[in-house]
Amino acid sequence: MRPLERVLVALEAAGGPGADGELWAFCPAHDDRNTPNLHVREAEDGGVLLHCFAGCSQEEVLAALEERGVRRRDLFAGPEPGAAGERGAHPAPRQRATLQPPPGDGVGVRSEALHPAPQPPATPRRPCTLEAYAEAKGLPVEFLRELGLSTISYMGRKAVRMPYLTEDGREAAVRLRLALERSPQGDGRFRWRKGSKPTLYGLWRMERVREAGYVVLVEGESDCHTLWHHGIEALGVPGATSWKAEWAAHLEGIGRVYAVIEPDAGGGAFGEKLAASPALRDRLRFVEPGGAKDVSELHLSDPARFEERLRAAFGRASLWTDLRREQSDAAARESWRACEKLARERRILDRFAEALERSGVAGEVRAAKLLYLALTSRLLERPVSVAVKGPSSGGKTYLVERVLSFFPESAYYALTAMSERTLAYSEEPIKHRFLVIYEAEGMSGDFATYLMRSLLSEGRVRYETVESTPQGIRPRLIEREGPTGLIVTTTAVRLHPENETRLLSLAVTDTREQTRSVIRALAKRNREEPDLSPWLALQEWLSSPGAARGVEIPYAEALAELVPPVAVRLRRDFGAVLNLVRAHALLHGASRERDEEGRILADLDDYAAVRELVADLVSEGVEAAVPKTVRETVETARRLLEDSGGEPITTAAIARELRLDKSAALRRVRAAIDRGHLKNLEDRRGRPARIVLGDPLAGEVEVLPSVEKLRGCRVAGSTGGSDTPLPTARPPEDPEDATTPDDGSANGNPGGRRVRFTL
The pTM for the full model equals 0.62
Collapsed DSSP state (helix, strand, coil) of residue 696: coil
Render pLDDT for 330-359 as a digit per residue (tens, 0 to 9).
Answer: 999 999 999 999 999 999 999 999 999 888
Render pLDDT for 695-736 as a digit per residue (tens, 0 to 9).
Answer: 887 666 788 999 999 988 744 444 444 343 444 433 334 433
Q: Taking residues 575-591, what's their average pLDDT?
A: 95
> What pLDDT does 345 receive?
95
Render pLDDT for 10-48 as a digit per residue (tens, 0 to 9).
Answer: 775 544 454 455 677 888 877 666 667 788 877 766 777
- Residue 540: pLDDT over 70: yes
Which secondary-structure segment (H or E) carries 157?
strand 157-165
Look at residues 597, 617, 569 and name the one whose alpha carbon lies nearest to residue 386.
Answer: 617
Which of 358-367, 505-514, 535-544, 568-577 shows the highest mean pLDDT?
535-544
Distance CA 600, CA 585 (A): 7
> What pLDDT does 409 receive?
94
Q: Taking residues 640-667, what's their average pLDDT?
A: 88
Residue type at 266?
A: G
Specify whether the CB–CB gap between 560 and 574 falls below 8 A.
yes
- Residue 227: pLDDT over 80: yes
Q: What is the DSSP string of 315-335?
A: HT-EEHHHHHHHHHHHHHHHH
Domains of the chain, by residue range, sit at 1-124, 345-547, 628-693
Q: Where are the beta strands (DSSP E) in 398-510?
A: 412-415, 433-437, 460-469, 472-481, 484-490, 504-507
CATH of 628-693, one of 3.40.50.300, 3.30.413.10, 1.10.10.10, 3.30.420.60: 1.10.10.10
Torsion of CA 726, 731, 734, 737, to 10 degrees: 120
Which of 251-255, 420-424, 508-512 shows the highest mean pLDDT?
251-255
Render pLDDT for 470-483 as a digit per residue (tens, 0 to 9).
Answer: 667 888 888 888 89
**Chain centre to alpha carbon of residue 118:** 49
Q: Taking residues 129-135, what's their average pLDDT?
A: 95
Q: For the ranges 199-203, 337-341, 386-390, 575-579, which has the lowest average pLDDT?
A: 386-390
Measured CA to CA in angstroms, residue 140 lies from 129, 132, 134 at distances of: 13, 11, 6
> What pLDDT does 616 receive?
86
Specify whether the CB–CB gap between 537 and 729 falls below 8 A.
no
| φ and ψ of 395, to 5 deg | 95, 15
Look at residues 403, 398, 660, 406 and name the one whose alpha carbon lies nearest to residue 521.
Answer: 398
Render pLDDT for 524-534 as a digit per residue (tens, 0 to 9).
Answer: 766 677 899 99
Given its phi and psi angles, is residue 744 left (phi above 0), alpha (psi -120 to 50 degrees) or beta?
left
Residue type at 455?
A: L
Distance CA 204, CA 195 (A): 20
Distance CA 293, CA 308 (A): 17
Which pLDDT band holds residue 218 (cuts at 50, 70, 90)?
Answer: very high
> What pLDDT does 298 receive?
95
Collapsed DSSP state (helix, strand, coil) of residue 431: coil
Render pLDDT for 62-88 as a digit per residue (tens, 0 to 9).
Answer: 877 877 777 777 776 544 433 333 333
Which pLDDT band holds residue 408 (cuts at 50, 70, 90)?
Answer: very high
Render pLDDT for 657-708 as a digit per residue (tens, 0 to 9).
Answer: 988 888 888 888 988 888 888 999 988 888 889 999 888 876 667 889 999 9
First to last CA, the chain: 65
Look at residues 239, 227, 221 and name the one whose alpha carbon lies nearest to residue 298.
Answer: 227
Specify whether the CB–CB gap between 234 and 223 falls below 8 A.
yes
Q: What is the DSSP string of 73-132?
A: GGG-SSBPTTSTT-B-PPPPPS--TT--PPPTT--------SS--PPPPPPPPPP--HHH
Q: Which residues pair with 191 in a beta bridge?
A: 176
**More confident of the two residues 7 and 333:** 333
Q: What is the DSSP letter of 205?
A: G
**Can you state the percent helix, strand and coil of the chain, rounding each to 5?**
40, 15, 45
Say if strands 460-469 and 386-389 run parallel, antiparallel, or are unpaired. Answer: unpaired
Q: Spelled out in words, what is the top-level CATH class assigned to the domain 345-547?
A: alpha beta
**More confident of the two residues 269 and 470:** 269
